Amino acid sequence: MDVFIPSFQAGGVWTLSLGDSGIPIFFPFFWRPKITVTCRLYYLQSQKTKRAFSVTKKMRWREFFGRQFTLRAFFNYRPTFDAEDMKRLLNLACHSVLDKLTKAI
């Protein structure tokens, strides 16, 4: 069995402002932390793939906005989302992909 992480993103907020007039217009763009875990079960002798599964886990919107509106995020002295957040998402994704694997076998 091979397990790998083909993609991940840390998450954050970016705003786009338009217009030089007296009233600025802001368009916020949100991207939540997410991670994708892929698992491939294969035959040892022939190296042929028996089954492959992929799971993507994202931070919940409630947790995302809860973390986004803190002093840490406002003053930006440390990253809003850190390695602990990614470890938790990785753990959830690994459990999900293993559940899929055990149900399929």
Rounded Cα gap, residues 100 and 41, in angstroms: 12
Which range among 10-14, 28-32, 43-47 has the greatest average pLDDT?
43-47
pTM: 0.71
Contact call for residues 8 and 34 (beta carbons, < 8 A)? yes
* Residue span of the structural domain in which 63 resides: 2-104
Total structural domains in the chain?
1
20 pLDDT more than 90: no
Span of 15-19, 30-34, 68-72, 90-94 with lowest mean pLDDT: 15-19
> What is the C-alpha separation between 40 and 25, in angstroms, rounded?
47
Q: Which two tokens stand for residue 79?
A: 């990253």
